Amino acid sequence: MAKSRGTIGILTGGGDVPGLNPAIRAVTVRALREGFQVVGIRRGWAGLVDLIPDKDADNRRHFQVLTEDVVNRAGRTGGTFLHTSRTRPSHLPLSNVPAHLRDRYTGEVNDVTDQVLKNLEFLGIECLIPIGGDDTLSYGQRLHQAGMKVVAIPKTMDNDVPGTDYCIGFSTCVTRTIELTHKLRTCAGSHERFLVLEVFGRYAGYSALLPTMAGAADRCVIPEHPFDIDQLIELMSRDRDKHPSQYSVVLVSEGATMSHQSSMTFEAEETDQYGHKKLGGIGDVIARELKERSPKFNQGRRVNVVNQRLGYLVRCGDPDAMDSIVPMAFGNLALDLILKGASGRLVSLRNGCYDDVPIDVVTGRKKVVNVSKYYNTERLRPIYESFARQPLFIMTSDS
């Protein structure tokens, strides 16, 4: 593989979000113009696990050399043309160990990091740019500790990567949540119902709280504060009575819990390689409780419910303006760091300015909503005060 100034690898891991392709484009265009070659790793960390380090092997499914022609076509679109996965090479189940490695890795769970490093060497990659959330980037930190040069870019619909006010994908998530909520109001209003919308947010409630602050919903429930279901029904009943069309709206983070619950609501017990069960269903639970308990707060009359999980509707399609601009800046920031010889850094946006922080911030703490500062637990809605000197998205800093 021909090299000039060196070879940079780039990959996307975890869930897809709008803005990944613009980030890949930004990295590639700048790197090529600086004299580097760029290799796109396909399917996140899985590409570096499954690759066969043999020049005669067919590795087209695992990597591709990137050109301006390739990234320019994809750079205006959503998703990730490099594809993605939730593979974790340090905790790889035996069923995911590729056939050519089965004689070396025989445990129920395997750490194949040494093979990943060999595969990076085979590709001639001297610096790696992973784009992902704290799960994906935690393994990027592992490679940095093992001696690989790593510069990371944060992305997640939940905006919950520590060390940055903003993660790629969040603005489009908020924009779509607001749009879809307003569209669904017509159904709720026509039938005088409660409207329950489940949105992303395993540990952090930003994607429910911020749209509510923007006027998309009357109430929201978030993972950081277990809520009382009767309190929610009473508040929504009051909202409904006040509304000319006799309806009210609540946004529900997928990781939210009722005060009597011992855990989050899951679709199934199976976990991914990062130990996460698939969330989903708290919106259904709340919708059922609203319908059954509503007579207590509505003069004995039952109120029916429009219930919708927004899910992939807010992460599909093209990026909005923020998720076209920020990935461009993040990609160029990553190249600035590489040109300086830096490693173990996470590009960031903090207090309105682009910056970078140590990558180990992603494993140091969870980034969650400061409830006392931003969430009114009596009213189950945002606090509307003290906006001066706050970041663009108000509640998205680590403070």
Residue 74: name the closest of 12, 23, 17, 133 by CA: 23
Q: 């050399």: which residue's tokens? A: 65
DSSP state letters, 321-342? SHHHHHHHHHHHHHHHHHHTT-
Distance CA 194, CA 287 (A): 8
The pair phi, psi for residue 216, each rounded to 5°, is -75, -30
Active site residue 158: yes
> CA dist 266 to 159, 255, 273, 306, Å?
21, 9, 16, 21
Distance CA 39, CA 31 (A): 11
User: Can you list the pairs that 26-30 forms with residues at least 24 positions away whose Cβ atoms lie under 8 Å?
Assistant: 26/75, 26/327, 26/328, 26/329, 26/330, 26/331, 26/332, 27/129, 27/331, 27/334, 27/335, 28/66, 28/67, 28/68, 28/70, 28/71, 29/68, 29/71, 29/72, 30/331, 30/332, 30/335
Distance CA 83, CA 79 (A): 8
> Which of 16, 134, 135, 158 is an active site residue?
158
The pair phi, psi for residue 215, each rounded to 5°, is 95, 10
Task: List, by residue number, the catalytic residues.
Answer: 158
